[in-house]
Structure 1
């Protein structure tokens, strides 16, 4: 079941939508970076998008709440809302199942 680990792992493309530099935004970004480094190593690209600076992107992606993480690749597209402090929930949202 664990075909997403090691060298054959697909690179993850992640977009984290935040609203300004609030404590929730900073916490979500830090939590996500920690989880990605621990579980994905260098196999990810992370884009942090402030919807106050890029409102059109938020509208295009239909962002209704922040912080919101969107996993664009590998497919299927997934969304996770919140401060991303629950590692298991984030990994589930990424469709990533670490070896047990």
Structure 2
């Protein structure tokens, strides 16, 4: 059951400032602002800087988004350009417009 004070913890794994990585982060920020207003934190992990961090979440491809909280943990691979797929994958109910 989702409560109003749940903070969504999202971790985006990238490798440098590639076009796909930049697009993934941009898309993620847009969806979060639209659907999780003020209820999220995004941690960006650059695997070129910290390659050892890929092992903890078993990252096999990049960019990969990992939803840590609320559980269950979910992963989405790619540039996150398909909003519906991202919202369903993260189990986010779209905000009413």
- What's the TM-score, normalizing by structure 1? 0.89
User: How far apart are residue 74 of structure 1 and its match?
Assistant: 0.2
- Verify the 8 A CA contact 2:35 2:95 in the aligned structure 1: no
1:96 maps to: 92
The structure with the greater share of residues assigned to helix is 1
Q: Does 1:19 align with 2:30?
A: no
Partner deviation per Cα, 1:14-71 (whole Å, 9 max, x = no partner): 0000011100000000000000001100100100100111111112221100000000
The count of aligned residue pairs is: 96
Structure 1: which 5+ residue stretches go unaligned? none
1:50 maps to: 46
Structure 2: which 5+ residue stretches go unaligned? none
Q: Take 2:76 and 2:56, find their aligned partners in 1: how far apart are those partners?
A: 17
- What's the TM-score, normalizing by structure 2? 0.91
1:71 maps to: 67
Structure 1 residue runs of 4 or more that deviate by more than 6 Å after TM superposition:
none
1:87 maps to: 83
